Amino acid sequence: MSPNAYAQAALPKRLQHFVDGQFIDSADSFPNISPIDGSELSQVAEASKDQVDAAVRAAKRTQDGVWGSLKVSERADWLYRIADGIQARFDDFVAAEVADTGRPVSQARSLDITRGIANFRTFADLIRTANSEFYETSTADGGEFINYVTHKPLGVVGVISPWNLPLLLFTWKVAPALAMGNCVVAKPSEETPTSATLLAEVMRDIGLPPGVFNLIHGHGGNAAGEWLTQHPDIDAITFTGESKTGSAIMKAVADGVKNVSFELGGKNAAVVFADADFEAAVDGVLSSSFTNAGQVCLCSERVYVERPIFDRFVVALKAKTEALKVGSPYDEGTTTGPLISKGHREKVLSYFRLAVEEGATVVTGGGVPSFGNVCDDGAFVQPTIWTGLPDTARCVTEEIFGPVCHIAPFDAEDEVVNRVNDSAYGLAACVWTSNLTRGHRVARQIETGIVWINAWFVRDLRTPFGGSKLSGFGREGGRHSMDFYTEATNVCVRIG
């Protein structure tokens, strides 16, 4: 399909919950608003407390009697059927993701939906090939023992996912939870409910046993999200989103001492040494600062450039930033879509104003673009670069989550490592250098969950992913997801 054809796609106008294998409605609903032009895309059912309870009870019943007792090969087969179901409706999912988020069609096609499919297939393959730990033990009295580790499902897992990469991050949690034998009650962001609803349709159409996957729509506080985290029959919560929301969830699950995995905010840094491949570094920082209008938890909002190339780098990044095409995701060549909502745009614009008050030099951007069409009613901002702020400025320390970066010079390796680590967050960082010895040395010292050297946004799904400090805790991916979504039991057997 051409990019513009996705604008005409027929998407559901009423988004309902999926509980115990059936779609159910609610008395209350809320509008799903397009960030592209401000129009209403659909009405979304707002779950009641009773409906959340019904979803959890359905999951628990199925967990105890059906899903948790399936063989590994059977669960893997189901995950492949889910992946095939998404693949069969690939264009529907692209249309849903673009409508909800405003992401350019090319990005939704190449990343979001493709990765959603890969999440299910990857974890299906993983559980088929996973090995158990095995140890031989001798005791002082001459006894001989073997020890092996079994992994049992946790039970019912609550999944709460964000709006910035809706299907990708939703399936990143749902797939391993199901793979490891858990039933799921999932709540997508109220800002981006459509692709999760299509996924529920796939679950229904392939005949997944009722209660294995349950979907509830709604808001967070004193609503579906809070009721889900507080439910006594939820055995674990996995959440991606803001740090303050993660803190609230921690308090909600504390009394029950439930397993939690949090991937929270970030104020990520990119470090560019003078010996870096200059063009590759400029292109890399362009991507890491402005992809998805900066609405990726892994984006670089702090850029440190070694002083000998600082001025040249600022000029080059300015030119490439101004060459980005901001506009409708359905237009050919669009590189940058809108922010997720006008409410979020106001937050980002408040930082644009604050940066000037704090003394920033606005290299480019800093405002709202004008289109002369329906996009003027959307949630767009200009990609923005600042220089001149101290490391203590709020715009350098607080997560903005928009298409913006601040560039500062540095003079020494130890200095820049200390500046990168002087942050309340610890999610990701990039290092650009042609000296790989230095790259490895710096990467080991940076206090983040992931460090890229001469790259950004490359993810092997088998590797651990997560952050430290206010960026969360716990790791998911590969065996690390298996560890989180299961309870490990050591079995010790005397053999002599």
Domain boundaries, the chain: 3-264+471-492, 268-461
pLDDT of residue 334: 97
How far is CA 153 from each of CA 72, 86, 275, 475, rounded to the nearest angstrom?
11, 25, 49, 17
Q: Which of 183, 297, 375, 405 is catalytic?
A: 297
How many CB atoms sit inside 10 A of residue 221's CB?
8
| pLDDT tens, N- to C-terminus, the chain (496 residues) | 888 899 989 999 999 999 999 999 999 999 999 999 999 999 999 999 999 999 999 999 999 889 999 999 999 999 999 999 999 999 999 999 999 999 999 999 999 999 999 999 999 999 999 888 999 999 999 999 999 999 999 999 999 999 999 999 999 999 999 999 999 999 999 999 999 999 999 999 999 999 999 999 999 999 999 999 999 999 999 999 988 888 888 888 877 878 899 999 999 999 999 999 999 999 999 999 999 999 999 999 999 999 999 999 999 999 999 999 999 999 999 999 999 999 999 999 999 999 999 999 999 999 999 999 999 999 999 999 999 999 999 999 999 999 999 999 999 999 999 999 999 999 999 999 999 999 999 999 999 999 999 999 999 999 999 999 999 988 999 888 989 999 999 999 999 8
CATH superfamily of 268-461: Aldehyde Dehydrogenase; Chain A, domain 2 (3.40.309.10)
pLDDT of residue 219: 97
Instruction: Indicate if 263 belongs to the active site.
Output: yes
CATH code assigned to 3-264+471-492: 3.40.605.10
Query: How far, in Å, CA of 172 to CA of 189, rounded?
Result: 15
Q: Which of 46, 97, 226, 263 is catalytic?
A: 263
Secondary structure (3-state) at 15: strand
Which H or E run contains 22?
Answer: strand 22-24
**What count of Cα atoms within 13 Å lies in the side-chain half-sphere of residue 431?**
24
How many CB atoms sit inside 10 A of residue 412's CB?
10
Angle between helices 72-88 and 113-129 (to 10 degrees): 170
Structure tokens at 5: 């054809």
Query: How far, in Å, CA of 225 to CA of 313, rounded?
Result: 44
Please, is 491 exposed, middle or buried when counting C-beta atoms within 10 Å of its C-beta (0-12, 13-18, 19+)?
A: exposed
Secondary structure (3-state) at 144: strand
Contacts 24+ apart (CB under 8 A), 483-487: 484/176, 484/236, 484/238, 484/259, 484/261, 485/153, 485/154, 485/157, 485/176, 485/177, 485/179, 485/180, 485/182, 485/236, 486/151, 486/152, 486/153, 486/154, 486/180, 486/181, 487/151, 487/152, 487/153, 487/154
pLDDT of residue 340: 98
Query: How far, in Å, CA of 484 to CA of 180, rounded?
Result: 10
Beta bridge partners of 135: 147
The answer to whether residues 193 and 37 touch, using CB atoms and an 8 Å cutoff, is: no
Query: How far, in Å, CA of 18 to CA of 346, rounded?
Result: 33
Instruction: Indicate if 375 belongs to the active site.
Output: no
The answer to whether residues 7 and 374 touch, using CB atoms and an 8 Å cutoff, is: no
How far is CA 117 from each of CA 56, 109, 113, 367, 488, rounded to the nearest angstrom?
26, 11, 6, 37, 28
Query: How far, in Å, CA of 468 to CA of 466, rounded?
Result: 7
